[in-house]
Amino acid sequence: MVSIGPPFGILKQPFTRVLVEIVFDNSDNRFPTGRDEVILRRTIGVKKDDYSLDKKSANKADVMNLLESAGFSKSNPYYIVPQGRITALTNAKDHERLALLKEVAGTKVYEQRRAESLRIMSETDAKRNKIAELLEYIENRLTELEEEKEELKEFQEKDKERRCLEYAMYQSELADITHALDDIEESRRDDLHNANERQVVYNNREKEIQVCLSSIPMVPPLLTQMYLESRAEDHRNAPCPPGC
């Protein structure tokens, strides 16, 4: 059944939409739909071209695949048989007749789909193998990372112990150095105190000598010269007071 809109006599405006609907008798289940009828509709409008199968929206590829599954192939040249074709078919070889029967019956479509499915399965197997290799690599890498994590944890613990030991050593050395500096400072203070005491003793003796000399009215020149030399020698041997 084919319908193309309302009768031409009723139209008062130009076409804006054309609808073609074909109802196939599917009592022999030629179409693998599971229904007794197959309704194919195509609607052509100004801006659209839609297909539907059994009143459900479908695309052109779905329609062509359904038709080919029932033996209606657009590449099938046997819907209209030209003159001389029958004679050529009767003289054909067995394998040529078998190929013809497959093409007319539409089994060629299944073979093409089977080949396509096999190709897809092969590609899927290859991808699955690659995924398996990748998963194996990831698992090995995770194992390595886990080992590196344990090594890093152990290193951090050892490094912490090392830093604690270094800190203890630095503290001990610092205490020893501080104690040594204290001893040096104390020794310096003692030396400074002793130098001051010796300077006081020296000054006192110098005063005593001056008193003795002043009490003697006349000193022989020779003794005076010897005294001056002895005094100069004492000055040279005397310790240097702080700040000299």
The full 3-state SS of the chain, as one line of letters, equals CCCCCCCHHHCCCCCCEEEEEEEEECCCCCCCCCCCEEEEEEEEECCCEEEEECCEEECHHHHHHHHHHCCCCCCCCCCCCCCCHHHHHHCCCHHHHHHHHHHHHCHHHHHHHHHHHHHHHHHHHHHHHHHHHHHHHHHHHHHHHHHHHHHHHHHHHHHHHHHHHHHHHHHHHHHHHHHHHHHHHHHHHHHHHHHHHHHHHHHHHHHHHHHHHHHCCCCCHHHHHHHHHHHHHHHHHCCCCCCC
- pLDDT band for 220, please (50, 70, 90 cuts): low
191 to 96, 195, 197: CA distances (angstroms)? 129, 6, 10
Judgement on whether residues 113 and 173 belong to the same structural domain of the protein:
yes
Judgement on whether residues 65 and 123 belong to the same structural domain of the protein:
no
Has residue 83 been placed in a domain? no
Contact, 63 vs 39, CB < 8 A?
no
Has residue 188 been placed in a domain? no
CA distance 82 to 103: 17
Has residue 88 been placed in a domain? no
Contact, 6 vs 15, CB < 8 A?
no
Mean pLDDT over each residue of the chain, to the nearest integer: 79
**pLDDT tens sequence across 150-174:** 999 999 999 999 999 999 999 999 9
Has residue 209 been placed in a domain? no
Domain edge (last residue) among 42, 70, 98:
70
Has residue 120 been placed in a domain? yes
Has residue 145 been placed in a domain? yes
Judgement on whether residues 123 and 173 belong to the same structural domain of the protein:
yes
**pLDDT tens sequence across 25-80:** 888 888 888 888 999 898 888 888 899 988 888 888 888 888 877 777 665 555 55
What number of other Cβ atoms are within 10 A of residue 242's Cβ?
10
Sheet of 49-53: strands edge to edge?
17-25, 37-45, 49-53, 56-58
Looking at residue 243, its amino acid is G
| Mean pLDDT on 4-28 | 69
Looking up residue 47, the CATH number of its domain turns out to be 3.40.50.300
- Name, in order, each residue with C-beta under 8 angstroms of 215's C-beta and a sequence gap of 6 or more: none
Has residue 113 been placed in a domain? yes
Residue 1: what pLDDT?
40
Domain with 19, as residue range(s), is 1-70
**pLDDT tens sequence across 188-199:** 888 888 888 888
pTM listed for this prediction: 0.34
Has residue 4 been placed in a domain? yes
Q: How many domains does the chain have?
A: 2
Judgement on whether residues 112 and 170 belong to the same structural domain of the protein:
yes
Per-residue pLDDT at 223 exceeds 70: no
